[in-house]
Structure 1
C-alpha cells in the first residue's frame, strides 16, 4: 500500500515537471512554430513634420519664439548630413573609444553635425528675413494635411511647394522634401531651397535686422500686428459702407422693395457678403505690406475661420430668403403640402450647412477632423442606440411629408389631441388646440398614431333626429314628412343624392323623424351657417302645421285601493 502511494506521488510530480517544461521543449523542437514578434512602431515625430501643414506650423512656431536651433530641425541638412557625419565618426572610432562613448551615455555631437546644425539655424533666420521682406507662405487651409502632400501639383511625389522667397510668383520657390529618418517619413525644407536662401539673403541683412529689432508681441513686431488689424478693419468697413449705399439706391429705384424678391435677397446677402469680400481683400493685400511672416500667417489663419463663418452665414440667410419667397408663393396658391416640404428642406439644408461650417472651422483651427469621424464609426452602435428616438422622429417626419396625412393649417384629431397643425418639423409637429395651447407631438409617435383630418372633408354632414309629440296624427305626420322633404329639395346647399327624411320610429316620449343630408361645402364655419338656416326652416314649418316638439315626459298613474 505504501509503495502504491509513493508511486502515485512520483507520477504527480513528473506530470507537473513535464507541464512546466513543455513550452521550452516545444520551442526547441524542429517543427514547433515560434510566434512572430510584432514590429515596433516608430515614435511620433516630436516636431510634427509628418505633413506639410504640420511642418510649416511647427517652423512658424519656432521662428515666432526666435528658437532658431529648433527651427533648424526643419531643414534637410540636419537629417542627411548629420546622420552621415555620425556614421562616419562611428566608423573612424576605435572599438575601445566607441565602448567608452557608449558607456557615458553619448556625448556632444561630432563637429560636422554641430556645424550643420548652426548653419541650418542661420538659414532659418535668413528664411524669416526673406519672408518678412515680401516672401509668402501658402495659407494654413491651403497647405496639405496629408502625409503624402499634394500629388498632382506637377512636382515629384516627395516634393511640395509651400511658398516663395520673393513677392513675385516667378521668385525662388520654397520647397519641402519628404525624407525618411529613423524609420519615419518627415517633411523638411529641401536642399534646393537651402541654397536659394543662402543666395537670396546676404549675411549683412541678418546684422541689419538684428539692429532694427524692437518691441515684439507673440513673435512679431507690435507695429506689424497693428498694420494687419487695421487693414482688416478698413476692408470690412469699406465693403459694409458700399453695401449700405447700394441698398439705399435700390430702395429708391425699386418702388415695391418690401415685396421685391430681388431686394429681399440682396438685403439678406449683403452683411455676410461684405465680411467675406473683406477677408478676400485681406488675403490679397496682406503679403504686400512687408510685415512679419509670423503675424501675417497667424492672422491669415484666423481670417480663414472668419471666411468660413461668413460663407455659412451667407448660405443660411440665402436659404431663409429663398424659403420665404417660395413659401409666400405656395400660400397664395394654397398649396399647403408644398409649404411643409419647403419648411422641412430649409431646416435640413441649414443643419447640413452648419455641419460643414463646423468641420471646416475645426480643420482650420488644426483639429484632426478625420480622427473624430473615425471615432464616430467606432462608437456608431452606442450613438445609434442613444439617438434611436431622434432617428425615429426623423423617419417619422419623412413619412408624414411623403404620405401627407396632415398639412400645415389642417384641423385634425391626433389621438386625444384636437387642433390645427401649425408646423411639421424635423423632430415634432406643433398643434394649436381649441384652448389656444400649443402641443408638441413627436413625429415618430405621429407616424404610427390614428389621425383624423377634418380639413380633407369634401362635404359636411347634416344629421338630425326630430321628436314630435304623440298626439300628432298619422295624417299630420305624412304632411310633415312631405314638407320637410320639400325643404331639403329646395335648399341649394344640399347634395340631393343622399338627402332623405324618414319616420324613424317610436321613442320613449316622441315620434322620431330622421333628417339626413350633406352640405356642399368644405368650410366648417360655412357649414354651420347652412345648418342654422335649415333648422330655422324646420321650426317654422312645425309651427305652421301646429305640431309641437316633444320633450322627455313621464306620466304617473296613481291607483287608490278601494275598501272592501
Structure 2
C-alpha cells in the first residue's frame, strides 16, 4: 500500500476522534462562577460570624453558634471555607461524629474532614446557593425532614448521598446543621474509591498551597509533566514515522515534513495525554481545564492550517504540470479564505467548550456586528472583485496590460487589491472593486502586433517616384518572413497639413515584444533605404504652438 496514502488514512482516523474529544462534563465558565460564588460565600460567612452571638431568629428562640451552622447553607459554606483554607481542624466542627462505624472511628476528625473535601473536589460541584437558608432546612427533598440533600456521588456500590443533618448544638435547646454521620461513615470507602495516587498525595502534601481556575499548584505541575512526557513520546513516534515514509521513497514535500514534525506531533501528544492520562489525581476542575479542549482545539487548528498549506502546494504543482497558471494563482486567496473560516470555527468551538453560548455571543454583538459589517463593506467588495477577476480573467498574473492610465505587468491578484509593476519599476496597488470597473487593455493577449509606421512625405514629391515608393514598401512587407500575408496594405491615404500621408497596415507574427522591436527596426531601415535611393524626403514635423500668456 502507498505509504503516503496510509498516512492520509491515519489522519482521517485521527480526525474522527475530534468530536468525541471535545466533550467535557464541567466547563471553565462553571469554574469561574464557582470561584466567584465561593468568594461570595466566604464573605457572607465572615460577615455572619461577626454578628453579636451569631444569632438567627426563629419563631421559637434565637439559634446561637460560634461556627455559623444555623442553616444548611451556612454550615456548608463554613465547611468549604475552612477546608479551602486547609484548616481541617476547624472544618471537622462541621461534621457529625456520633455513632460512627469502626472504619470511620479509625480516622481522626481532621482526616475525615480532609478526605471528604478531596472527594467533593473530585466528584461533586457543591452549589451552596441551592441549599436552604432556613434553620428548619428544606421540606421538598426525598430525605427525612431533619436532613438536607447536598448531592449524590456515583460509586462502584451505587450512589452515595452527601447529606446535611440537623443535630443538637452545644447549647441546650439549640439545633445546628452538620454533615450527616451517614455521610461521614462513607468517607473511608470514598477514600478508597476516589483517593489520590501516591505521587499525587506526595505532591499535594509537599508543594505550596495555591490554586488557579480551581486547579491547585501541585496538579498544574503533575499534569504539565504528564503532558510533556506524552509530547516526547509523540515527537519520537512522528519522527520514526517520517523516517519510514522517506525510506519507502514516498513523495513527501518539505511542508508535509513540517506538518508531521510540528502540528501533527503536538496534536498526537495532546490526544495521547487525554486518552492515557491517569484519572487518579484528577478533579472536576482539572477535567474542565485539561480535558476542556483548549489545547486540543489549538492543536487541531494549527494542524488544519498546515494541512491547507500542504494541499495548496500539491494542487499548485499539479496545476503547473497542466499549465493552468490562472487557477494556480487563485489558490493563494482561496487558501487564505479557508484558513480564516477554520480559525473562526475554532474560536466558536472554543467558546462553546468554555461554557459560553456561541450563538448567544454572536446574537449579542447586535449593533456591533452591524457596524463591523458596514466597516467591512469595502473589504467584501474587494473580495468579490478578486473572485470576479479570477472567474472572468480579463488579465492574468504576469501579463502586460493598460488599466485606466496605468501601464505595467500584473504581479498579484490578492483578496484586497491587484498589484502592478510599471515600466518605471514602481508598484501600484489598485483595489479589486475599482479594478474590475476600469477599462482594461490586455496587451499580452495579442496574438500578433500591428506595424503601422507614420509616414508623411513632402508635398513636392513627384507622382512617378511616389508610385515606386509604394510598390517597394509592399515588396519589403511581403518578402519579410515575420509579417502576416493578410492584412498587408500600403496606400496613399490622402493629404495632411504637413504633406502626403502613406497608410501602412500590417502585423508582425509574434507576441514577444523584444522580437517585435527587432522586426520593426529591420523594416524601418529598409524603408529609409528606399527613401534615400529615390531621393524622397519626409515632411517636417508640425511646429509647436504656444498659448499666449
Partner Cα distance (2:300, 2:397) in 1: 32
The equivalent position to 2:224 in structure 1, one of 229, 235, 241, is: 229
- In structure 2, what is the equivalent of residue 476 of structure 1? 465
Shift of 1:510: 4.5
- In structure 2, what is the equivalent of residue 532 of structure 1? 521
Q: Does the 8 A contact of 1:236 with 1:274 survive in 2? A: yes
- In structure 2, what is the equivalent of residue 375 of structure 1? 364
Partner Cα distance (1:473, 1:117) in 2: 120
Partner Cα distance (1:443, 1:421) in 2: 13
Partner Cα distance (1:540, 1:136) in 2: 103
The equivalent position to 1:327 in structure 2, one of 298, 302, 316, is: 316
- In structure 1, what is the equivalent of residue 410 of structure 2? 421
Is residue 261 of structure 2 the alignment partner of residue 270 of structure 1? yes
Q: Does the 8 A contact of 1:336 with 1:409 survive in 2? A: no
- In structure 2, what is the equivalent of residue 550 of structure 1? 538
Deviates more, 1:527-536 or 1:218-227: 218-227
Partner Cα distance (2:69, 2:285) in 1: 35
Other structure's SS at 2:226 match:
helix
1:229-256 residue CA offsets vs partner (Å, 9 max, x unmatched) = 12211222232234344445555654xx
Other structure's SS at 1:495 match:
coil
Matches within 5 A, 1:200-219: 200-201=189-190, 213-214=205-206, 215-218=208-211
- In structure 1, what is the equivalent of residue 475 of structure 2? 486
Partner Cα distance (1:468, 1:440) in 2: 45
Other structure's SS at 1:216 match:
coil
* Alpha-carbon distance change, 449 to 174 in structure 1, aligned in 2, over 3 angstroms: farther
The structure having more radius of gyration, on CA atoms, is 1
Other structure's SS at 2:485 match:
strand
- In structure 2, what is the equivalent of residue 464 of structure 1? 453
Q: Indicate the structure whose relative CO is greater, using CA pairs within 8 Å and at least 6 residues apart.
A: 2
Is residue 396 of structure 2 the alignment partner of residue 407 of structure 1? yes
Shift of 1:300: 0.5
- In structure 1, what is the equivalent of residue 50 of structure 2? none
Is residue 256 of structure 2 the alignment partner of residue 239 of structure 1? no
Partner Cα distance (2:441, 2:509) in 1: 20
Is residue 497 of structure 2 the alignment partner of residue 523 of structure 1? no
* Alpha-carbon distance change, 466 to 127 in structure 1, aligned in 2, over 3 angstroms: farther
Shift of 1:336: 3.2
- In structure 1, what is the equivalent of residue 273 of structure 2? 282
Other structure's SS at 1:422 match:
strand
- In structure 2, what is the equivalent of residue 300 of structure 1? 290
* Alpha-carbon distance change, 469 to 110 in structure 1, aligned in 2, over 3 angstroms: closer
1:287-317 residue CA offsets vs partner (Å, 9 max, x unmatched) = 34x3252674365157x22221221111112
1:179-235 residue CA offsets vs partner (Å, 9 max, x unmatched) = xxxxxxxxxxxxxxx8997684169999x989x844433276655433321221122
- In structure 1, what is the equivalent of residue 31 of structure 2? 57
Shift of 1:542: 3.7
Other structure's SS at 1:550 match:
coil
Shift of 1:109: 7.0
Partner Cα distance (1:369, 1:249) in 2: 43
1:88-129 residue CA offsets vs partner (Å, 9 max, x unmatched) = x99xx8xxx37x98xxxxxx7767777788899879965654
Partner Cα distance (1:409, 1:486) in 2: 37
TM-score normalised by length of structure 1: 0.62
1:23-79 residue CA offsets vs partner (Å, 9 max, x unmatched) = xxxxxxxxxxxxxxxxxxxxxxxxxxxx964786369759999x9999xxxxxxxxx
- In structure 1, what is the equivalent of residue 487 of structure 2? 498
* Alpha-carbon distance change, 392 to 307 in structure 1, aligned in 2, over 3 angstroms: same
- In structure 2, what is the equivalent of residue 159 of structure 1? none
Shift of 1:338: 0.9
The equivalent position to 2:422 in structure 1, one of 433, 445, 451, is: 433
Shift of 1:538: 2.5
* Alpha-carbon distance change, 118 to 205 in structure 1, aligned in 2, over 3 angstroms: farther
Matches within 5 A, 1:108-147: 129-130=118-119
* Alpha-carbon distance change, 269 to 118 in structure 1, aligned in 2, over 3 angstroms: same
Q: Does the 8 A contact of 1:269 with 1:314 survive in 2? A: no
Partner Cα distance (1:309, 1:292) in 2: 22
Structure 1 vs Structure 2 CA RMSD: 4.8
* Alpha-carbon distance change, 61 to 285 in structure 1, aligned in 2, over 3 angstroms: farther
Partner Cα distance (1:136, 1:109) in 2: 24
* Alpha-carbon distance change, 62 to 395 in structure 1, aligned in 2, over 3 angstroms: closer
Other structure's SS at 1:394 match:
helix
Shift of 1:436: 1.8
Partner Cα distance (2:478, 2:157) in 1: 97
Matches within 5 A, 1:105-184: 129-130=118-119
Partner Cα distance (1:163, 1:433) in 2: 76
Shift of 1:137: 9.4
Partner Cα distance (2:193, 2:464) in 1: 130
- In structure 2, what is the equivalent of residue 316 of structure 1? 305
* Alpha-carbon distance change, 343 to 549 in structure 1, aligned in 2, over 3 angstroms: farther
Other structure's SS at 2:511 match:
coil
Is residue 291 of structure 2 the alignment partner of residue 291 of structure 1? no
Partner Cα distance (2:76, 2:256) in 1: 61
Matches within 5 A, 1:333-372: 333-365=322-354, 367-372=356-361
Shift of 1:502: 0.7
The count of aligned residue pairs is 424
Deviates more, 1:53-62 or 1:380-389: 53-62
Shift of 1:462: 0.9
Partner Cα distance (1:137, 1:205) in 2: 12
